[in-house]
Chain A
């Protein structure tokens, strides 16, 4: 059914989602691993993998942008796909920046907030997975993601709850003031991933609804 240009774009987008999800999974693995090991030095190689996945997602995104501008595609679809990619790209970027923060600033994650941070990490992974799967569905049955977009919102709210709980715990503890600020920033940084997933979900909702009226 698809013309050649559309087929190429779909293939690249599948590829992008796969790579971005790989980046998220590896990033989450590093975050949880750092919490368990205390010594994040062991995870430096893994961080390199996260960076590599993030940068290949970037390359694929650029490639898609080039195809979108060089091939004849409806202006409305071109705008929608470019906008969606821009939103999606913030997910692997944010994971990479959270992981780098832990390692570069050598943040020690105390057991006090481990449970919350772990929950945030797990939910973030699920949320990102649903987001990228929804993108895939958008290109095979464009109305189907509507069923899943609500889940993204629900995960984002759940992360918000754990985020508040963790920050409350940090500031009511006896930790050093500097460490408190660092930990708060880290929690906020990781929690941003689901916010970005939610924004991508909202954008997909607009893309779908626009095509249903």
Chain B
């Protein structure tokens, strides 16, 4: 069943068409990756999902409900994390968690319970009272993920989640993302690191000039383009082809 459904969504800024009839579905429980060059429209797509930008045409449904008619429902059911640390450096992880939990209208007890689970899930129990500014890079990323999940979102939006991390820490972070996914949270991730997407996503969409030009699982891409052809190479071919 599709948790998120884009149907012919378009968006323009002035004369520039940023999204052109974008259509795709994200199934419940899957990790959906989107790759594309800069300016392909990925950020606009995310901004629409965060309620910061309104679409010009088309429809987007979350759990079958039109997000433009119920913005609060969208915000309650989506979590968002970027490569930047979206936390208050002067607060510790717990304090950040309690604060953002309250902004989502959660009761304090509920937040605490959720916080404990997430701390355990993301192995941050020992660092819960450390100020964010004193955390290591990897821990900051995990703390960022924790806060994005504090309100039990159905859909987690990740924009370059491993940006700025070394390869080892990236692998560790993906391990946690998968752990999160196992708890039932659907993940929509945007990244330039195509190998990560290929390795971790159930389905991958390739964006070019505001359109999804290809949509398949990594396995299906390989079946179509050859077992030994990497997704990065396939992506490169798509970008070179001016007819697409």
A binds B: no
Residues of B within 8 A of A (CB): none
